[in-house]
Amino acid sequence: MAFALPNGSRVYVQKSKDTALEFETISNAKEAVATLKANHGLAVGDEVIITSGWSKINNAVAKVTKVNNTDVTLGNINTSDTKSFPEGEGKGTLTKVTAWERLPQIKEVATEGGEQQFTQIQFLDDDTERQLPTIKSAKSKSFTIAHDSSLPIYPLLEELDLTNEVVAMKMYVPKAKETRYDAVRVSFDPTPATTINEIETVKISMTVESPAITFYKDK
């Protein structure tokens, strides 16, 4: 058992990316292996956004942990369950993140959604209701930062708000020795919130597009 404080954590937003690399096959394994074309250029440690016919990894963000010619292993991307990941249906793309921009001066972090939803059932001969899980609600998160329009993150956030592009995010938590990745769409209004005797702030809202966070411990 272990636990850690988030103090000292750093958050980054994708600034640029490479051309998407197509793969026709991806394995069913505890760490999925995508087969790319020759001269793909990916290396161990590269961070990639996945698109796939398998919805449970579509828009997931992963680190490359092994490269063997055209076979690229995606660390912590578990596709071993063939019911969730039907064989032959996972083709898609890998897109390398080439640069990140740090989200500085974070005052508050908030998350919403992801709650399990239920449907209630009662038959004529029942004295009590039955309950079945259905879906989980859509997830979102937000960051409140101290306002400074000269920060290099501002034009990037404004561009992402305009394009509505799905981009990678990562958060490094040094006390947990862990990096966490997901993919989001960004909404940003640079108008600062102003209150007497308090620093001005702006809020960045994000819809979470990846099916799950991927976690990578320091080595």
- Taken in order of first residue, the domains within the chain and their CATH numbers are 16-98 (2.40.30.180), 102-118+129-217 (no CATH)
Confidence grade of residue 219 (pLDDT, cut at 50, 70, 90): confident
If we measure between CA atoms, which residue out of 80, 108, 95 comes closest to residue 14?
Answer: 95
Using one digit for the tens of pLDDT, what is the confidence trace for 119-132?
A: 999 999 989 999 99
Using one digit for the tens of pLDDT, what is the confidence trace for 155-192?
A: 999 999 999 999 999 999 999 999 999 999 999 999 99
Using one digit for the tens of pLDDT, what is the confidence trace for 41-85?
A: 999 999 999 999 999 999 999 999 999 999 999 999 999 999 999
Considering the chain, what percentage of its residues have pLDDT values greater than 70? 100
Query: What is the DSSP code string of 55-94?
Result: TTTTT-EEEEEEEETTEEEETT-----TTTS-TT---EEE
**Residue 181 — φ and ψ, nearest 5°?**
-120, 145
**Considering only 10-14, 59-63, 212-216, which range has the smallest mean pLDDT?**
212-216
Res 131: pLDDT: 94
Residue 3 above 90 pLDDT? Answer: no
Query: Which two tokens mark 140?
Result: 């979102």
Using one digit for the tens of pLDDT, what is the confidence trace for 140-160?
A: 999 999 999 999 999 999 999
Res 44: pLDDT: 97
Res 104: pLDDT: 97
Confidence grade of residue 193 (pLDDT, cut at 50, 70, 90): very high
What is the C-alpha to C-alpha distance for residues 21 and 67, in angstroms, rounded to an integer? 14
